[in-house]
Amino acid sequence: MNSINDLKAISKSIKKNILNMAFNAGSSSAHIGGALSIADIMSVLFFSKIKFKKDEPLFEDRDRFILSKGHACLAYYASLFENKFLNQNDLLSFEKNGSDLLGHPVRNMDKGIEFSTGSLGMGLSLGVGVALSLKKRDKNNHVYIILGDGECNEGSVWEAAMAASHYKLNNITVIIDNNNLQQTGANEKIMSLGDLSKKWESFNWNTKIIDGHNFDQINKSLEFEKSNLPKAIIAKTIKGKGVSFFENNNNWHHAVLTKKNFDQAILEIDN
């Protein structure tokens, strides 16, 4: 397992590559804010928790990762780059003609992407199906899913949550990116989520609340526990984390980076 300092360094690199891809694409569909809010979580998942083999994509004992909030794919691609599934040319091709790296993840096992996602509310249903299949085959693989908090407005999330506890799918861990913002505004104004922890507990999930930018808390929350229940981690995060003029500024849900913005953002992350 990597040290906390190692994970911090990896997260910094992930954040810089999020910005590099967004700037190079010059696209308003590059979702910067929600990618930065999960960068710290992704560094822990991909360098401390998820079992995989780069040279054997269908490794039988691999864990599964599903980015249900697929619009945050910049953080996913940057994590795959750090694990050498992708190279610099791949990153620079983001959202270009003929690229394998689109605005939402598309299955490509050679690039480390096992699931196509982006239709919000579907990732947990997909994960329940995968986890149930693993259980029926007596496999010990784990399924990790990242959901957006605004995504929890979707009824399909709660249908899947009921199914996961009913089937005792303790091989699922869901991490909710609780940054309190969604595409068109604050969760409170669009559809209040109330107490997310109590909601997940009421669906019979083992629930934890953590600081989604505290590496020690992220690490500990993902440790194995003896339980028959699926696990939901409510990660309190900051949208646009790491860049002062992005943080909690929903204008950067998706926006075009100017050279000035880009240079300033890289400087802040470096420092």
User: pLDDT tens, 85-128?
Assistant: 999 999 999 999 999 999 999 999 999 999 999 899 999 999 99
pLDDT at 1: 63
Q: What homologous superfamily is domain 4-270 in, according to CATH?
A: Thiamin diphosphate (ThDP)-binding fold, Pyr/PP domains (3.40.50.970)
Query: Is there a contact between 14 and 78 (Cβ–Cβ < 8 Å)?
Result: yes
DSSP state of 154: S
DSSP string for 164-225? HHHTT-TTEEEEEEE-SEETTEEHHHH-----HHHHHHHTT-EEEEEETT-HHHHHHHTS--
Residue with tokens 């028959």: 228
Q: What are phi and psi of 233, to 5 degrees?
A: -105, 115
Stated pTM of the model: 0.96
User: CA–CA distance from 163 to each of 46, 111, 141, 160, 229 (Å)?
Assistant: 27, 31, 19, 5, 11
User: CA–CA distance from 184 to each of 132, 188, 249 (Å)?
Assistant: 35, 11, 12
pLDDT at 242: 95
Extents of the domains making up the chain: 4-270
Per-residue pLDDT of the chain (271 residues; tens, 9 = 90+): 689 999 999 999 999 999 999 999 987 678 999 999 999 999 999 999 999 998 998 999 999 999 999 999 999 999 999 999 999 999 999 999 999 999 999 999 999 999 999 899 999 999 999 999 999 999 999 999 999 999 999 999 999 999 999 999 999 999 999 999 888 878 888 898 899 999 999 999 999 999 999 999 999 999 988 899 999 999 999 999 999 999 988 887 878 899 999 999 999 999 8
pLDDT at 183: 80
